[in-house]
């Protein structure tokens, strides 16, 4: 795991999402934590090609780092 941002992508319904994915995968400090998509077949295929897990949208939103949890607690 890198010290950089951890990013998950939700939805590949639009063609531009593939360009965003390519850019994210080229950034050495970015960790792509997973891909979610309402079309599970498309999401699984893209995730497999990117070498990251496929997560349902709810699962994607539950993946949090220690820093994200601390930030949320500080906002209360």
CATH for 28: 3.40.50.720
- Domain range for 13: 6-75
| 37 in a structural domain | yes
| Total domain count, the chain | 1
Cα→Cα distances 13→30, 43, 66, Å: 23, 10, 30
Using one digit for the tens of pLDDT, what is the confidence trace for 43-63?
999 999 999 999 877 766 665
Residue 39 corresponds to which tokens in the numbers above?
């079309």
- The CA distance from 65 to 23, in Å, is 22
How many CB atoms lie under 10 A from the CB of residue 35? 26
Q: What is the pLDDT of residues 7-19, one digit of tens each?
A: 889 899 999 999 9
**Is 1 a domain residue?**
no
Q: What is the pLDDT of residue 55?
A: 87
Q: Could you list the beta-strand ranges (E) of 29-76.
A: 31-36
| Selected residue with higher pLDDT from 8 and 3 | 8
36 within some domain: yes
The mean of the pLDDT values for the chain is 82
């Amino acid at each position: 795991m890198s010290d950089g941002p951890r990013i998950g992508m939700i939805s590949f319904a639009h063609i531009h999402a593939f360009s965003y994915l390519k850019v994210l995968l080229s950034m050495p400090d970015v960790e792509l934590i997973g891909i979610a998509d309402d079309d599970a077949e498309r999401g699984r295929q893209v995730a497999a090609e990117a070498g990251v897990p496929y997560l349902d949208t709810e699962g994607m939103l539950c993946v949090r780092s220690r820093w994200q949890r601390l930030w949320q607690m500080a906002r209360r």
